[in-house]
């Protein structure tokens, strides 16, 4: 992925499994439509599995202390009838928890779980802190992987349209690579990095501040904050919309003011009154995202704060 979801500092390994010689239909899922800024999604063959393994460094900055925590699976089951027309799909989520020996992972019960891991941290009292990791329930998977978000959040054109080193030190565009493998039902256009949508890596300082900030919000917030998404606020945080069309600038929050002075969702030039930033900085009740994260992404807070401050 170009712009990964923040997961409390975890590292991720991602895999895509297709049954047999089945293929993906590229950018054909448009339902529900019309939805402002929403890009088409991929239509996957029956039995597709998306895999993501989460690993955490028990001593940040020391790869030798990296530990696998869980592997999440999303399994696609094609609905009987014409789900192609209406976009309804069935994706079942499962979590496998890695054992202490790091030799195997076992299926977690449906209700999910929490586990505390000791983290070596020089800035913490006595050089150690505890980090609670939340293993999601199967029901929680459906909060983000929705019809409005086209279900698969990372396996999209805008996220996959990047170079990746498949070995040999010669990176290749991921879409081009999948196209060359015959994964898609129809050939893709040449030079996808130029002609097809793409986000930017918000850690790359040579990218514009606006593109980095919009890509971060797209990756971390827009699966809920879009038309017909699971968020109950009406603004849209898709990077594909001009900021003026998102409904965020100058809009009074509808879900609480949190003791801020005359807050708005976004206040150009005034981070202290901008609710998006405030929610990102919170922990506990009122934090955004409200699932799948317990820790503040301090680098992202700095990025979004600077973006708001420089906003005209």
Mean pLDDT on 180-189: 97
Distance between start and end Cα atoms, the chain: 30
| Top mean-pLDDT range of 93-102, 166-175, 284-293 | 93-102
For strands 49-57 and 66-77, give the pairing. Answer: antiparallel
pTM of the entire predicted model:
0.94
Percent of the chain residues topping a pLDDT of 70: 98
DSSP secondary structure letters along 38-71 = PPPEEEPPTT-EEEEEEEEESSTT-GGGEEEEEE
pLDDT in tens, 125-152: 999 999 999 999 999 999 999 999 999 9
Give 174-227 as a 3 state SS string: HHHHHHHCCCECCCCCCCHHHHCCCCCCCCCCCCCHHHHHHHHHHHHHCCCCCC
DSSP 237-289: --TTS-GGGTT-BTPPPSS--TT-SS-BSB-TT-GGGBHHHHHHH--STT-SS
Short-list 42, 37, 105, CA closest to 242: 37
Residues 92 and 74: their CA atoms lie apart, in Å, by: 6
**285 has pLDDT over 90:** no
Contact assessment for residue 1 and residue 9, using Cβ atoms and an 8 Å cutoff: no
pLDDT at 289: 85
Mean pLDDT of the chain: 94
Q: Is 303 helix (H, G, I), strand (E, B) or coil?
A: helix
Position 255 scores a pLDDT of 86
Q: Give the per-residue pLDDT at 83.
A: 58
Band (85; pLDDT cuts 50, 70, 90) = low
CA distances from 170 to 6, 9, 191, 197 (A): 28, 28, 16, 23
Query: For position 137, what pLDDT does the model report?
Result: 95
Longest Cα pair distance anywhere in the chain, in angstroms?
60
Contacts of 260 (CB under 8 A, 6+ apart): 272, 273, 275, 278
């Amino acid at each position: 992925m170009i712009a990964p979801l923040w997961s409390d500092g975890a590292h991720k390994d991602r895999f895509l499994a297709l049954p047999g010689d089945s293929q993906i239909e590229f950018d054909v899922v448009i339902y529900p439509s019309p939805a402002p800024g929403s890009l088409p999604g991929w239509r996957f063959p029956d039995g597709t599995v998306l895999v993501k393994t989460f690993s955490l460094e028990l001593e940040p900055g020391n790869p030798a202390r990296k530990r696998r925590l869980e592997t999440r699976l999303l399994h696609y089951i094609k609905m009987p009838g014409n789900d192609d027309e209406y976009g309804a799909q069935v994706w079942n989520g499962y979590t496998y928890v890695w054992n202490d020996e790091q030799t195997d992972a076992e299926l977690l019960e449906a209700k999910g779980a929490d586990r505390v891991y000791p983290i070596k941290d020089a800035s913490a009292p006595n050089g150690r802190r505890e980090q609670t990791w939340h293993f999601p329930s199967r029901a929680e998977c459906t909060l983000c992987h929705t019809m409005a978000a086209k279900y698969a959040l990372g396996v999209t054109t805008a996220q996959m349209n990047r170079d990746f080193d498949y070995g040999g030190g010669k990176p290749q565009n991921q879409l081009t690579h999948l196209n060359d493998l015959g994964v898609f039902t129809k050939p893709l256009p040449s030079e996808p990095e130029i002609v097809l949508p793409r986000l930017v890596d918000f850690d790359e300082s040579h990218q514009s501040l606006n593109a980095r900030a919009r890509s971060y919000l797209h990756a971390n917030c827009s699966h809920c904050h879009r038309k017909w998404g699971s968020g109950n606020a009406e603004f849209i945080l898709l990077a594909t919309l001009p900021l003026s069309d998102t409904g965020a600038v100058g809009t009074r929050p509808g879900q609480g003011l949190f003791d801020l002075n005359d807050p708005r969702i976004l206040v150009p030039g005034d981070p202290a009154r901008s609710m998006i930033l405030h929610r990102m900085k919170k922990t506990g009740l009122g934090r955004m995202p409200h699932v799948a994260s317990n820790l503040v992404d301090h680098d992202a807070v700095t990025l979004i704060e600077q973006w708001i401050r420089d906003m005209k």
